[in-house]
Amino acid sequence: MSLKGKVIKQIEIKSDCDMFHDLMCHKPHEISNICPGTVQGVELHEGQWGTAGSVICWNYVHDGVQSTGKEIVEPDMANKKIKFTVIEGDLLKLYKSFVITFHVDKFDEYHLVSWTFEYEKMNEAIPAPDSLMDLFTKITRDIEAHHLA
């Protein structure tokens, strides 16, 4: 059994995908105002919001446990993607490596938010990050509800 894995979730949204991309790239610190029960804060540690190589730290609740994650941000503005490489935090207690990719895409009548997790587990007993994907899906839905209200 391989220790490396990949989980992908696509979520159809009614709100503007450019708004989602702008929020995730340039204003992730605002997510704690939208989802205060899930995300308590996002702080900029190095660089500037939305720039390649910047470092941000998330404080969030996952499976009822207060958690943190420090990530290097690599935006790809042309393709509306953002790669978050986890460099510190609770995920690295379970996974040797963890990369989160956020992507938005417009189609004729609908918009998609895609989340991709690429990871390597510490050992075979570690589960796939399905509950974390559920959390990201909830955050996406909460952001959409906030912007549609």
pLDDT score for 63: 95
CA angle (88 as vertex; 75, 129 as ends), nearest 5: 80
Q: What distance in Å separates the CA atoms of residue 77 and residue 35, rounded to the nearest whole number? A: 25
pLDDT score for 108: 80
Name the pTM for this structure. Answer: 0.95
Q: What distance in Å separates the CA atoms of residue 144 and residue 39, rounded to the nearest whole number? A: 15
Q: What distance in Å separates the CA atoms of residue 139 and residue 39, rounded to the nearest whole number? A: 8
pLDDT score for 51: 97
Q: Tokens at residue 146, please? A: 């906030």
Q: What distance in Å separates the CA atoms of residue 93 and residue 95, rounded to the nearest whole number? A: 6
**CATH class, 4-148 region:** alpha beta
Model confidence over 117-141: pLDDT tens digits? Answer: 999 999 999 999 999 999 999 999 9
Q: Tokens at residue 108, please? A: 């004729």
User: Worst-scoring range by mean pLDDT, 2-11, 13-22, 51-60, 118-127?
Assistant: 13-22
Model confidence over 45-89: pLDDT tens digits? Answer: 999 999 999 999 999 999 999 999 999 999 999 999 999 999 999
Domain ranges of the chain: 4-148
Residue 63, Ramachandran bin (φ over 0: left; ψ between -120 and 50: alpha; else beta): left
